[in-house]
Each structure stands twice: as C-alpha cells, then as structure tokens.
Structure 1
Amino acid sequence: MQTQIIENLTLYSGNIPGAKEAVNNESVESQDATGRFIIEVSQPQLTAYWPDENLRNGCAVVICPGGGYRGLSIDKEGEAIALRLVKLGISAFVLKYRMPADRTMETRQWGPLQDVQQALHVVKSHATEWQLDLSKIGVMGFSAGGHVASSAAVHYQDPVLTTLSPAMVKPAFQILIYPVISMDSKITHGGSKASLIGEDASPKDIEYFSNDKQVNSDSPRAFIMHANDDINVPVENSLRYYRALMAAQVPVQLLLLPDGGHGFGMYHDYDWFQSLVMWLKVNQLVS
C-alpha cells in the first residue's frame, strides 16, 4: 500500500468553541522552494499522513508548524516533516492551528492551545481505529509552533475546553525545534508575544505562557534542538526549558548546533533529524 495522505480531518464537530463568526481571510502570503507561508488562519484542520500498513508502529506525532503566531510555514515545517516521520512508521498529523486574533476569537490567547489540545484529543480518541498506542502519541513544534507544542506539554492539567480530560490532551513526549518558550521580554520573540498575549501583557499571562515556568515532574520527556546563532528566537529559550526539565527530573535531550540561524527546517548541513531518530529509538517510540 502506498502512503496515504488524508486531507481535512475534522478537528471540531460543529461550531468552534470560543470562535467568533468572521469572514475566512486565510491566504498564501508567500511561496518559495521550501513551500507556502499561510496567514490569517481561522479555520483549523488536521492533515493525516499515514505510513504503509506494514510499517506502522503505533507512534503518532501532532506537528505544529511555526510562523510567529502570524502565519504558518505549512510545508517546510509541516508536510516535509510528516513525510520523514511516516518513513519511520509514525503516523503524522499536521495541525493548521488558528492564528490568535480578536477578530476571530473571543479570547485570542486560548485559540492555538485549544486547537492543539483538540488535535491530541481527536488522535487519541481514534487510537484503536488508527492502530495507535496511547503511550506513544506526542507533539512536535517549530518556532512559535514550538510554543504551541510546549504549551500542550505543560498545560494539559487544565484543558481550555472543560469537556476534554487531561489524560486525553496530554502528549506522551515533546519534540521542540528552535522553539519560542518564554514570554520574558529579554529573550522572547517579540512578534509571537505581541500576537498571542499583546506587547503590554499582564504579569499573569506572561507567567502562564512562559512554559519554562510551568514545568513539573510529570511533564513529558523532551527532545529539543536549537542553533546557537539564532537571533530571532534566542537559544536561551531552549536553555531555560532544558534547565526547568532537568530541575524537575524530566528526561530531556538538548541538541545545540553552532550555526544555522532560525527557521531552517530540514535545510541545514547537519541532519538533526537523524539525531531525533536515535532519540525516538532510544525511547522505544520506534524500533
């Protein structure tokens, strides 16, 4: 059987909780050799990438592309990653999460977290049907998508939607690639912070969405990768998160590259994905 790509999996049945009625202005802002950058996403969706049946190992990953909470590098940090994962027997789900916007959301900072929690709930709810192992369903995120993924990893105890249970929204592991972690103005990505919680955010929101401050001993194990020369999202984001996980005695692997800047996806001389494969094997997520 050839790898199947199933478009437009339903994320919500019926109306999206917390969403306002608004015109869908989603569009492709730019496109280059690495793919599309889409903006003004207000209609979330999951795209499933299935491995060949003889390869499936029960592992699944919900992938959150980056884009500074302004848009999504949907191909470079979504589809391209999914196509690598399915070769390992992993079922991959690219999440097109909504961009925080007062025009489309009652409370904009909850939209992306709500969407990733809903995605995890949907994938876990279909675990038997999709031949998935509940103990091997995790999240992966790039840049601001790394903030979405790490938010899922630290805020599962109190789901945005009270109809969801913590067990059904908690990822088993987290893979964070040059992630935005902190809302601390000293190290955050200014555009991500402004879009999500506002430049003049309350101390409460800054604390809540600084995910290094939200780690506990039950947080999921982690693989983190960052380039030391990243000027858009300083490497200190990953270092703080690594130190917080270490302090909580959560298993974590940190891969630091000497250069590469930000947003390179798979386009780097160092194939960091091979290091991720080794981590997946060591953690018995793939054989």
Structure 2
Amino acid sequence: MKALLIVSIFILLSTFKTTAQNFIDLYPKEIPNSKKPISNETVEVSKAGIISQVIKPTLQVFIPEKDIATGTAILICPGGSYKVLVYDGEGVNTAKQLASRGITAFVLKYRLPDDELMIDKKNGPLQDAQQGIKIIRENALKWGINPNKVGVMGFSAGGHLASTLATHYQESLIENGNQINLRPDFQVLIYPVISMRDSLTHPDSRTNLLGKNPSKSVLDNFSNEMQLNAQSPPAYVIHAADDTLVDVENSIVYFQRLKQLKVPTELHIYPKGGHGFIFKHDTWMLPFYDWMKKYGW
C-alpha cells in the first residue's frame, strides 16, 4: 500500500512538472489597436473553460521536463468562431499533451474582434498572434527553445488565425524594432476555417471578424488559400469529411494550393468525426507526432 502511494505521488509530481505554467502579458504597456485603456473596472468574461471577452491578451506557457525537451515550441490558437475562445478544451488540454512529448506549448488568449474595444477589429487577433511568436523567439534561450523550430497550431477559427499568421507574416502589425522573424516554421491546422469566400467560409467566423459587408479586397486578403506562396511554412492539416460546421473543402483547397507551390504538406481527412472531433477521439495527435519527427521538429 505504501509503495502504491509513493508511485502515485511520483506520477502526480511528474505530471505537474510537465504542465508547469505561467502567464505572460502580450503587451506589458499599451495594447495596440485598443480603444479602451486597461483598468480595474474592466472585467474579462469566462465560464467553464470558454472565454467570451478578452481585455488583456496573454500567453500561457507549458514547459516540458528538461530530460524530454525537444527545443520545439508551438503557439496554440483556440477556436470559437471569433466570438469565444474554447480555451481549455482546445488550448490548455492540447498544450499539456504537447508538453508531455517535450514540446514547449504556448496558449494564446487573443482579443476577439470587437468594434467597441478595437480601432480595427479585423486585425486585432493577427496582431496578438504576431506578438505571441515574437515573444517566443525573443525568449527562446530562456525557455530552451530553438528559434528555428517555432510553429503555430490552430483549431477552427483559431485555424484561420494560425493560417493568417502563416500567410501574412511579411507585414508586421506590431512594433518590431528588432526585426524578429514573424514567420512560423510550420503550421498545424485542425478543422480550420481557411477561406472567407462565400462558397467555403464559415459565415459566423467571417461576420465576427470582418463585419457584415466586407469589401472584396478584404475578403480576398483574409482568404488564406489565396495568400500562399512558395515560402509559406510546411503544413499539417486535419479535418473530418462529415464536418457540417466548417466545410472540409477549406482544408482541401489549402492543401491543393500548397501542393502546387511545392510546399511540404500533409492532409488527413477522417471519414467521420464532425467538427471538434478532438473531443471524441484522443488518438488524433499520433500521426501528427510522426509528421513532426519526419521533419526534425
């Protein structure tokens, strides 16, 4: 009985080490593109792992144990139609799994598009994603990270944000005097919204991000299959064919365009699972780890 207790305590402590965490403000001083100053009267809204208002964007850091650390880091963008953040389910739970495999994981609590809080709501999430990858690379030595092994992962609308970061990295929307590289080294997209075009998009995500009547130039700019080029990061894309919320064609057109550009890409399509299949199937990450090993990440 005593031996069993010792083993149980050891497992608990090991788990704690793997998921050790802290929070970092993305902007220690003034938040760019923000209409309202941060004050004690401003309260963020969250419930049951779902965040529905973000005033102060942050990174939550999950550091693996030193003896298993790979030097790879991933910035995680939870989904939620650009209306909420599925913070615990897609963010924290995924970060813990990644940390247990030696990957330093950062959950991005990004600002949700809001005309009352932002001067330009469509660029708020991308600013936060750019700031997130900038912070990771600036502090790579501190966290034992290889600055050339920093990727981005996104779910649903968070997949749109991740692919936006992967296709809009050449224009910095943040202060970047040190010219930190904002391009992810790889992108991992899970049941992602990719396009803002009528035939493909998830209408709620588009409206929440771009408003009710965006111009064609804005639609094209945020249709990320149209923004790819030969220097786009390698991609791992996964979707379910029976997804009735975000059409699987989003992933297919993204894959096809990357293939045309000869950018290394792997696409996995499950026949069933629907949207949010990660909550039903806990083995979805196994082929992803194989892909990571293949490319030395």
Q: What TM-score, normalized to structure 2? A: 0.90
AA of the residue aligned to 1:20: K
Mapped to 1, the partners of 2:177 and 2:113 lie a distance apart of 21
Tell me what 1:107 maps to. 120
Q: Please, which runs of 5 or more residues in structure 1 have no aligned partner?
A: none
Q: Does 1:69 align with 2:82?
A: yes
3-state SS in 1 of match to 2:107: strand
Which is further off, 239-248 or 259-268?
259-268
3-state SS in 1 of match to 2:35: coil
Mapped to 2, the partners of 1:164 and 1:237 lie a distance apart of 35
Give the length in aligned residue pairs.
279
CA drift at 1:265:
2.4
Q: Does 1:275 align with 2:293?
A: no
* 1:18-29 paired onto structure 2 within 5 Å: 18-21=33-36, 24-29=42-47
CA RMSD of aligned residues (A): 1.5
Q: Does 1:5 align with 2:20?
A: yes
Q: Does 1:16 align with 2:31?
A: yes
Does structure 2 retain, via aligned residues, the 8 Å contact 1:159–1:165? no
Q: Please, which runs of 5 or more residues in structure 2 have no aligned partner?
A: 1-13
CA drift at 1:263:
1.7
Does structure 2 retain, via aligned residues, the 8 Å contact 1:159–1:166? no
Which is further off, 16-25 or 250-259?
16-25
Higher helix share: 2
Mapped to 2, the partners of 1:244 and 1:41 lie a distance apart of 34
* 1:103-182 paired onto structure 2 within 5 Å: 103-163=116-176, 167-182=180-195
Mapped to 2, the partners of 1:213 and 1:167 lie a distance apart of 25
3-state SS in 2 of match to 1:272: coil
Does structure 2 retain, via aligned residues, the 8 Å contact 1:60–1:92? yes
Q: What TM-score, normalized to structure 1? A: 0.93
Mapped to 1, the partners of 2:280 and 2:253 lie a distance apart of 25
Moved over 4 A (4+): 164-167
Mapped to 2, the partners of 1:266 and 1:165 lie a distance apart of 40
Mapped to 2, the partners of 1:25 and 1:147 lie a distance apart of 27
CA drift at 1:164:
5.6
Q: Percent identity?
A: 41
3-state SS in 1 of match to 2:141: coil
Q: Of the two, which has the highest radius of gyration?
A: 2
Mapped to 2, the partners of 1:76 and 1:4 lie a distance apart of 15
